[in-house]
Amino acid sequence: MAMRKILTDKEPALHKVCKPVEKFDLKLHKLLDDMQETLLDANGVGLAAPQVGILRRVVIVDTGEEILELVNPTLVETDGEQEGPEGCLSVPGKYGLVKRPYWAKVRAQDRDGNWFEAEGEELIARCFCHELDHLDGIVYTEVMERFLTEEELEGE
Ligand code: NI
């Protein structure tokens, strides 16, 4: 495994629509392994391939119990609403107020191409939505209500 550099939202790669993964080969497996190492090192909850400069529909999410690998993911069902602070490894040091569904279900392929579904609430649902947005070139700062102030963050 190897660490990859996390790009900031000033880079064009963060604003492009990513292409579907078609080959479930060693190159994809290495990308997923590297993304996992990079995410764990950065203490993040989720990471999308465009954040490491790869314009493919690949996301990983650390649920606290496991690292979910989502290849070609789509949001298939959502329920409820939550509003809260959201951050991004590509927007270091800042947090915004973002509305997301309270619960979300995604359908995706694993690293070998097998389809599966995963669901989560609260932080996991927020993370699914945030990371899938990355695959369409959307950074949370484009959908947030506003940035949180230092005072608000200290109160969290
Ligand atoms: Ni992000």
Alpha carbons 127 and 111: distance in angstroms, whole number? 20
Q: What percent of the chain has pLDDT over 90?
A: 94
pLDDT bucket at 156, cuts 50 / 70 / 90: low
Mean per-residue pLDDT, 122-133: 98
| 139 CA to centre of ligand 1 in angstroms | 6
Q: Which amino acid is at 134?
A: H
pLDDT per residue as tens digits for the range 19-32: 999 999 999 999 99
Ligand 1 (ion): residues with CB under 5 Å are 88
pTM: 0.96
Q: What is the mean pLDDT of the segment spanning 36-50?
A: 97
Q: Which residue in the list 131, 150, 151, 152 is annotated as catalytic?
A: 131
Give the model's pLDDT for residue 154.
82
Instruction: Find the mean pLDDT for residues 59-65.
Output: 96
Average pLDDT in the chain: 96
Separation between Cα atoms, residue 145 and residue 99, nearest integer Å:
8
Cα(48) to ligand 1 centroid in Å equals: 7
Q: If DSSP codes are grouped into helix, strand and coil, which group holds residue 59?
A: strand
Ligand 1 centroid–CA 155 distance in Å is 23
Residue 131 bears catalytic tag: yes
**Ligand 1 center to residue 134 CA distance, Å?**
7
